[in-house]
Amino acid sequence: HVPEEVGYINELLTKKSLRDIIGEVVKNTGMARAAQFLDDIKELGFRMAFQGGLSFNLKDINIPEEKVTLIAQASKEVEEVMGNYNMGFITNNERYNQIIDIWTRINNRLTSNVMNILSSDNQGFNSVYMMLDSGARGSKEQIRQLAGMRGLMAKPQKSGSGGEIIENPILSNFKEGLSVLEYFISTHGARKGLADTALKTADAGYLTRRLHDVAQDMIVGEVDCGTLRGIFTTALKDNEDIVEPLYDRILGRTSLHDVHDPITGELLLTAGHDITEEIARSIENSPLEGIEIRSVLTCESRRGVCALCYGRNLASGKRVQKGEAVGVIAAQSIGEPGTQLTLRTFHVGGTASNIAAESQINARFDGIIEFENVRTVKYKTEDGEVDVVLGRSGEFRIVEAGSNKVIMTNNIPYGSYLYVEDGSKITKGDRICSWDPYNAVIISEFAGVAKFEAVLEGITFREESDEQTGHREKVIIDTRDKTKNPVIQVADSKGNIIKGYNIPVGAHIAAEEGDKLQTGQVIAKIPRSTGKTRDITGGLPRVTELFEARNPSNPAVVTEIDGVVTLGGVKRGNREMSIESKDGQIKKYLVPLSKHILVQDNDFVKAGMPLSDGSISPADILAIKGPAAVQEYLVNGIQEVYRLQGVKINDKHF
Q: Is residue 138 part of a domain?
A: no
What does DSSP say about strands 472-476 and 461-465: parallel, antiparallel, or unpaired?
antiparallel
Residue where a domain terminates, one of 324, 348, 368: 324
What does DSSP say about strands 259-260 and 241-244: parallel, antiparallel, or unpaired?
unpaired
What rounded mean pLDDT belongs to the chain? 80
Query: Residue 418: which pLDDT band, with cuts at 50, 70 and 90?
Result: confident
Separation of alpha carbons 540 and 559, rounded Å: 30
23-29: Cβ within 8 A, 24+ apart: 23/317, 26/317, 27/317, 28/3, 29/3, 29/5
The Cβ of residue 629 has, within 10 Å, a number of other Cβ atoms equal to 14
Q: Calculate mean pLDDT across residues 79-105.
A: 83
459 and 503 share one domain: yes
Convert the pLDDT of each residue in 372-415 to its tens digit.
877 788 877 777 778 888 777 778 888 877 766 777 777 787 78
482 and 426 share one domain: no
Q: Calculate mean pLDDT across residues 587-603.
A: 74
Separation of alpha carbons 42 and 49, rounded Å: 11
* pLDDT value of residue 39: 93
4: left (phi over 0), alpha (psi -120 to 50) or beta: alpha
Q: Is residue 420 part of a domain?
A: yes
Which of 338-352, 421-435, 452-466, 524-538 shows the highest mean pLDDT?
A: 421-435
- Across the beta sheet with 448-453, what order do the strands follow? 497-502, 487-491, 448-453, 516-517
Judge whether residue 76 has pLDDT over 90: yes
Q: Calculate mean pLDDT across residues 261-276.
A: 83
* pLDDT value of residue 346: 40
Which of 217-221, 562-566, 583-587, 641-645 shows the highest mean pLDDT?
A: 217-221
Judge whether residue 184 has pLDDT over 80: yes
The type of residue at 320 is: V
Higher pLDDT, 356 or 101: 101
How far CA 450 is from CA of 4, 440, 470, 493, 515, in Å, comes to: 82, 20, 24, 11, 5
Higher pLDDT, 10 or 243: 10
* pLDDT value of residue 496: 80
Query: Residue 536: which pLDDT band, with cuts at 50, 70 and 90?
Result: very low
550 and 628 share one domain: yes
> 268 near 286, Cβ under 8 Å?
yes
Convert the pLDDT of each residue in 206-223 to its tens digit.
888 999 999 888 899 888
Q: Which residues of 194-216 are buried (b: 16+ CB within 10 A; e: fewer)?
A: eebeeebeebbeebbeebeeebe
Query: Residue 160: which pLDDT band, with cuts at 50, 70 and 90?
Result: very low
* pLDDT value of residue 280: 87
460 and 411 share one domain: no
Judge whether residue 482 has pLDDT over 80: no
Separation of alpha carbons 551 and 545, rounded Å: 9
* pLDDT value of residue 189: 75
* pLDDT value of residue 509: 82
3-state helix/strand/coil string of 460-526: CEEEEECCCCCCEEEEECCCCCCCCCCEEEEECCCCCEEEEEECCCCCEECCCCCCEECCCCEEEEE
228 and 285 share one domain: yes
How far CA 388 is from CA of 377, 378, 381, in Å, comes to: 5, 6, 11
Alpha-helical regions (H) of 153-276 = 180-215, 246-250
Q: Is residue 226 part of a domain?
A: yes
Separation of alpha carbons 620 and 631, rounded Å: 13
Q: Is residue 464 part of a domain?
A: yes
Structural domain containing residue 288: 220-324
Q: Is residue 86 part of a domain?
A: no
| Dihedral angle over CA of 257, 260, 266, 270, nearest 10 | -20
* pLDDT value of residue 572: 73
450 and 427 share one domain: no
576 and 520 share one domain: no
* pLDDT value of residue 622: 85
Triad 457, 461, 464: Cα angle to 5°: 95
> 96 near 165, Cβ under 8 Å?
no
Convert the pLDDT of each residue in 322-360 to its tens digit.
888 989 998 998 888 877 665 544 434 444 444 445 677
Number of domains in the chain: 5
Residue where a domain terminates, one of 296, 324, 352: 324
381 and 298 share one domain: no
The Cβ of residue 285 has, within 10 Å, a number of other Cβ atoms equal to 11
Q: Is residue 208 part of a domain?
A: no
The type of residue at 173 is: N
Judge whether residue 487 has pLDDT over 60: yes
Q: Is residue 395 part of a domain?
A: yes
The type of residue at 182 is: E
Residue 502 φ then ψ, to 5°: -75, 140
Higher pLDDT, 529 or 142: 142
What does DSSP say about strands 220-222 and 305-306: parallel, antiparallel, or unpaired?
parallel
The type of residue at 563 is: G
283 and 263 share one domain: yes
> 369 near 420, Cβ under 8 Å?
yes
574 and 611 share one domain: yes
CA of residue 502 relative to chain centroid, distance = 30
Judge whether residue 43 has pLDDT over 90: yes
Q: Calculate mean pLDDT across residues 226-233.
A: 86
How far CA 297 is from CA of 85, 132, 310, in Å, comes to: 53, 39, 9
* Domain harbouring 620, CATH code: 2.40.50.100
648 and 555 share one domain: yes
Residue where a domain terminates, one of 433, 459, 486: 433
Separation of alpha carbons 274 and 175, rounded Å: 53
Q: Is residue 250 part of a domain?
A: yes
Separation of alpha carbons 76 and 97, rounded Å: 16
Judge whether residue 580 has pLDDT over 60: yes
* pLDDT value of residue 277: 84
Separation of alpha carbons 332 and 205, rounded Å: 11
pTM: 0.68
Q: Which of 155, 156, 138 is nearest to 147 (CA)?
A: 138
Higher pLDDT, 29 or 573: 29
Q: Greatest CA span in the chain, whole angstroms?
A: 91
Separation of alpha carbons 191 and 154, rounded Å: 12
Q: Which H helix or E strand runs over 291?
A: strand 290-293
414 and 447 share one domain: no
Separation of alpha carbons 577 and 591, rounded Å: 8
Q: Which residues contact 56 (CB under 8 A, 6 or more apart)?
A: 127, 128, 131
Judge whether residue 230 has pLDDT over 80: yes
Separation of alpha carbons 489 and 586, rounded Å: 27
3-class SS at 66? Answer: helix
Out of 159-173, 344-358, 417-431, least confident range = 344-358
* pLDDT value of residue 537: 44
DSSP characters over 403-435? T--EEEEEE--TTPEE-S-TT-EE-TT-EEEE-
CA-CA-CA-CA torsion sign (94, 100, 101, 102): positive
* pLDDT value of residue 352: 41
Judge whether residue 153 has pLDDT over 70: yes
